[in-house]
Amino acid sequence: MTGSGPGATPAALVIRDATADDMAAVCALYNALVATTTVAWTEEPEPLHVREAWFAEQQRDGHPVLVADVDREVVGFASYGSFRGEGKWPGYRLTVEHTIHVGEGHWGGGIGRALMDMLVSRARANGLHVMVGAVDGANDASLRFHERLGFTEVARMPEVGIKFGRWLDLVLVQRVL
């Protein structure tokens, strides 16, 4: 879908594999909500060198890192990695946990859906069976987003995290691919 209006994807949107040159933008997207939301359960912004090391690890392990590019600006990213440590628990080797971040100014425009559609396509092409997401229980927008994409809530873990001096519930969602 392209065009304007709610749910419309920008005409200039390109979903592509990330490069090392994209990591500053990816890091900035991740860090943008750290100080004010519970999207990430940390209170410290991530240094660029940590994101660059994560990217190198993703590349080494063959896990995709996708970016949403609008008019040559990275406005979102998505990736997946091993669920519960593939090497430690090989029974989980066909299950992955994903992450997705879209810049706040681009929420509701179809960019998240485009990223997730490509990520699911990559997971299927790599022979994976289940994709899991871990979402803050108070993040209704993310829970609805995942539900629209075919994810089902499978676990709600009360008070397993803390941020801003309050307990956080973790919701696990999954989609059989």
> Amino acid identity of 50?
V
CB atoms within 10 A of CB 39: 16
Question: Would the pLDDT of 74 be above 70?
Answer: yes
Is the CB of residue 10 less than 8 Å from the CB of residue 111?
Answer: yes
**From 6-10, 103-107, 122-126, the region with the lowest mean pLDDT:** 6-10
Average pLDDT over residues 41-60: 97
pLDDT at 175 over 90: yes
Please tell me the predicted confidence (pLDDT) of residue 88. 78
CA distance linking residue 108 with residue 139, whole number of Å: 15
Sequence-ordered strand ranges (E) for 28-117: 65-70, 73-82, 95-102
Q: What pLDDT sits at residue 9?
A: 65
Q: Where are the alpha helices (DSSP H) in 62-170?
A: 111-125, 140-148
What's domain 13-176's architecture? 3-Layer(aba) Sandwich (3.40)
Q: List pLDDT tens digits, range 140-152.
A: 999 999 999 999 9
How far apart CA 129 and CA 101 sit, in angstroms, is 23
Does the pLDDT of residue 87 top 80, yes or no?
Answer: no
Which pLDDT does position 142 carry in this prediction?
96
pLDDT grade for 89, boundaries at 50, 70 and 90 = confident
In the chain, what percentage of residues exceed pLDDT 70?
93
Q: Look over the chain and give the mean of its residue pLDDT values, rounded to a whole number.
A: 93
Per residue in 126-165, is it b (16+ CB within 10 Å) or e — as a string?
eebebbbbbbbbebeebbebbeebebeeeeeeeeebeeee
Mean pLDDT of 65-85: 95
Q: How confident is the model at residue 148, as a pLDDT?
A: 97
Contact of 112 with 102, CB cutoff 8 Å: yes
Q: pLDDT band at 4, cuts 50/70/90?
A: very low
- pLDDT score of 167 more than 60: yes
- Segment 92-96 shows an average pLDDT of 95
Q: Kindly state the tokens that stand for 17.
A: 């594999």
Mean pLDDT confidence for 67-74: 96
Q: How far apart are the first and last CA of the chain?
A: 23
**Domain boundaries of the chain, sorted by first residue:** 13-176
Spell out the long-range contacts of 151-157 with Cβ–Cβ below 8 A and sequence spacing 24 or more: 151/175
